[in-house]
Amino acid sequence: MSILHLALRSSLAGTVCRRYSSTVASGTSTGTSTESSKKKAATPQSSCPPDTLLKGLNYLKGQPPVLALSDDQYPDWLWNILKPKEYPDDGPGGMAERKQRKSDRQQAIRDRNFMSTQ
């Protein structure tokens, strides 16, 4: 290993981000909350601070390194992409009931297959 490799390795070691996202607001509230503070509390923080080197995302040769952006530079839909989809309850035979029946059928098949291997 060369000295240059060790120098680069030690300088990048401090920039690796290992935090998880949270929905904690930046300030504390005194019990009375306004609409703007609710919006800030609902907006999640990203798992990496801005300008963090994101390793493994740059897979093309000769490209600049990929750096994390600040939260306001990402689109709003990105923070809601992992939320489960909610279907409106539109009565018998509606979309919500069909999805529930399908998941029940699939779970029953999984249970039957598991019990047949025991």
10-51 confidence digits (pLDDT tens): 444 444 445 555 555 444 445 555 555 555 555 567 888 999
pTM of the model: 0.43
* Segment 48-77 mean pLDDT: 91
d(CA 102, CA 83): 20
What pLDDT is stored for residue 40 in this prediction? Answer: 53
